[in-house]
Amino acid sequence: MKIAWPKLSLPFGHKYRPLIGLDITTSSIKLIELTVAGGGYRVEAYAAEATPHSAINEKAIVDAEAVGEAIRRAVKRAGARAKEAAVAISGDAAITKVIQMPRALSERDLEAQVEMQADQYIPFPMDEVSYDFEVMGPSEKDVDMQDVLLVATRTENVEQRQAAVAAAGLSAFIVDVEAFALENACRLMTHQMVDGGSERTIAVVDFGASTTTFSVLKNLRVIYTRDFAFGGQQLTEEIMRTYGLSMEEAGRAKKEGGLPSNFQPEVLDPFIDDMTQQVSRSLQFYLASGGGREQPEQILICGGCANIPGVADVIASRVGIPAERGDPLGQMKLSSKAKAQGVRKDATALLTACGLALRSFD
């Protein structure tokens, strides 16, 4: 299993391995391909496809062929050239543990030691597990030791994604963890952060279709993350109920408009209230999660729901923390193909896909 440690690889003087960042969720499959242009990044290809009905159940891919066919359609429509992909497993499917190892160990001896000790930290039979590790640096507890990040998941979680990618005619070169991909992508939003995020505490709320991820970064490293069941699908379902529309019609109306005049006060405003309550509750969970927790100085709102007009201002006024819409593509150039696919309007929902695509430059 190849799990990449979260780091930002600047596009200067690094090897480039073309990879498609492929974010596979219960509602959609988003892919993005990045290259280097003028000292920054450029979006070469982008597309999104609806996830086939019932192909994913509780984040597990149960129909790899159907998901693969949707990936294939997205690749074709995007005009993506890379044949390898970076994909991610969900954070709740991964086990992460920081362990201490002697600094004097050679690379080979370190690998052997981690392999010997891994079963102490992984609550599954080792023959059912894929794992990887990365040296984080000297341990603060002991100068003769180093901190090593151990990451593991059931092999079936990896194989499901590999099978879906293979069914699309691609290969999964990297299997990452969503939390790491998100951390990687957050560095694309430093232009929006106070002091570029340096020595600052910033919250990032990524509203997905059915799951929202609340993360807190300190000095651009994730120190807290929480997933919870809430997302834009609830707004779609409320539009369905209120106006007697199908799911497809409601989704289209949500994006394109044209709903009756009572939509804002009767449907949208209550949903924004729910969004605000979810952010407030997540902040409370974070502050109660350990000693010395600092109130975030800023909140970046991401995901499809971030495009609701004025939502960041409402959240800021009610939780008392400055908030704005997060845009990981804000400083990137765009190819004509990517523009045609509407990548700019979908930018807020591309954190995971962008974080995965950045592995091209590791």
Domain hosting 290: range is 191-325
How many domains is the chain built from? 3
According to the model, what pLDDT value does residue 15 have?
A: 64
Is 321 found in the same domain as 310?
yes
CA gap 322, 317 in Å, rounded = 8
> Per-residue pLDDT tens for 2-36?
444 333 333 444 467 899 999 999 899 999 999 99
| 266 and 341 co-located in one domain | no
| pLDDT per position as a tens digit, 150-191 | 999 999 999 999 999 999 999 999 999 998 999 999 999 999
Q: DSSP alpha helices (H): ranges in 298-362? A: 311-319, 336-340, 351-357
Which of the two residues, 143 and 164, has the higher pLDDT score? Answer: 164
Do both 232 and 209 map to the same domain? yes
Shared domain for 304 and 164, answered yes or no, is no
The type of residue at 9 is: S
Could you tell me if 47 and 169 lie in one domain? yes
Kindly state whether residues 208 and 254 are assigned to the same domain: yes
Residue 7, pLDDT score: 33
* Contact by Cβ (8 Å): 326, 189: yes
Phi-psi sector, 208: left (phi>0), alpha (psi -120 to 50), beta = beta
Residues 202 and 277 in one domain: yes
The CATH code of the domain that includes 113 is 3.30.1490.300
Q: Are residues 337 and 202 in the same domain?
A: no
Q: Answer yes or no: do 34 and 171 share one domain.
A: yes
Query: Are 317 and 236 in a shared domain?
Result: yes
Please give the model's pTM, rounded to 2 decimal places: 0.90
